[in-house]
Amino acid sequence: MAYRLRQGKSVGKSVRMVAIEQIDKAIAEIESPELDRHEVVHQVRKRCKKLRGLLRLVRPEFEDYSTENKFFRDLAGNLSYVRDAQSIIECFDALMQRFKDQVDVAAFQSIRDELESRRRNVADDQEGLNRKLDEFLVHIREAKSRVSDWEIDEKEFDAVESGLSKTYQRGRKALDEAYDEPSPEAFHELRKRVKYHWYQQRLLRNIWPQLMKAECHETSRLADLLGDDHDLAVFRQQLLTEPDRYADEATLQALIGLIDRRRIELESEARPLADRLFAEKPKQLTGRLSKYWKVWRRGDRMKIAKVNHHGQIAAAG
């Protein structure tokens, strides 16, 4: 099933269903013999992010939010080192692709060789990786056993309104801070807030599928741009932390120059998308979505009434 709240189900029931589905998919991915172990790491970390996005949507109405959010955050964090080694190489390759007509890519080969060596060191530790995944499996199964006890205090849109508003307001604040006083930390914070809002848009997609699909697409584009920007910032810091491991001073400075140029491009491209995404005030956003929600739920009730009506006619016949 898709990552979204269910039609014809209460919010609490929908949240529990989505959580169980994400946990079951994570378990299946770990237990699959066909999937590459590093791909498994990538997938199950995304499951944890989706679960945290789900919890954030109902945060003010979910008593166990802090405990469960920390649980899934730490669970994914235990596997981050595996993904980081691969993402840095992907970041480097994308950078070379962007500037291939302007620089001699071969001049930076020693840097890629070192990145690849680090990735292999992580990849070769299959025993350690399998142990981490086994631990993940034990903990995610424990989480599954708790889901049936999750209770959401409010009903209907009230159950998601506060969480949606809080996430959105923090996104607006992060946007202002990132562009008023730019820094890698500020743009990373903006990226996180955009991702949280994207997960919530996806969960609410059923309230108006065509419109929400378009909004989700644009938010995903923004998240990708900010994600690339963050990867470059991390890569830059890694180069500066251990410069002697990668290349001579001139080559290193040339690469850092390319990183800085690309980050400016990405941040400039992201700006109009971010401005549009956070153009509404939180009350305007929740007011608009609450109207879509009511129409969606009214459709549910009409379907139920129609089924009952036909059932009564059939019984009378």
pLDDT of residue 303: 53
91 domain residue, yes or no: yes
305 domain residue, yes or no: no
Can you tell me the distance from the alpha carbon of 169 to that of 97, in angstroms, rounded to the nearest whole number? 36
294 domain residue, yes or no: yes
Low-confidence ranges of the chain (pLDDT < 50): 304-316
Can you tell me the distance from the alpha carbon of 87 to that of 230, in angstroms, rounded to the nearest whole number? 11
pLDDT of residue 300: 60
**CB-CB contact of 193 with 230 (8 Å):** no
309 domain residue, yes or no: no
Scan for tokens 């999750």, then name that residue: 150
Q: What pLDDT, in 10s, does the model give residues 130-167?
A: 899 999 999 999 999 999 999 998 889 999 999 999 99
Assign 3-class secondary structure to 154-189.
CCCCHHHHHHHHHHHHHHHHHHHHHHHCCCHHHHHH
77 domain residue, yes or no: yes
110 domain residue, yes or no: yes
**Pair of tokens at residue 176:** 């202002």
pLDDT of residue 207: 96
pLDDT of residue 126: 80
Q: Tell me, what amino acid is at 297?
A: R
Q: Please, which residues bridge with residue 152 across strands? A: 62
The residue segments making up the domain with residue 125 are 11-299
**CB-CB contact of 220 with 199 (8 Å):** no
Confirm whether pTM is higher than 0.85: yes
pLDDT of residue 301: 56
Assign 3-class secondary structure to 252-266.
HHHHHHHHHHHHHHH
pLDDT of residue 184: 97
1 domain residue, yes or no: no
E-only strand ranges, the chain: none
pLDDT of residue 302: 52
**CB-CB contact of 92 with 235 (8 Å):** yes
Which sign does the torsion angle of CA 293, 294, 295, 297 carry?
A: positive
Number of domains forming the structure of the chain? 1
pLDDT of residue 38: 86
**Pair of tokens at residue 11:** 């919010």
316 domain residue, yes or no: no
CATH number at residue 171: 1.40.20.10
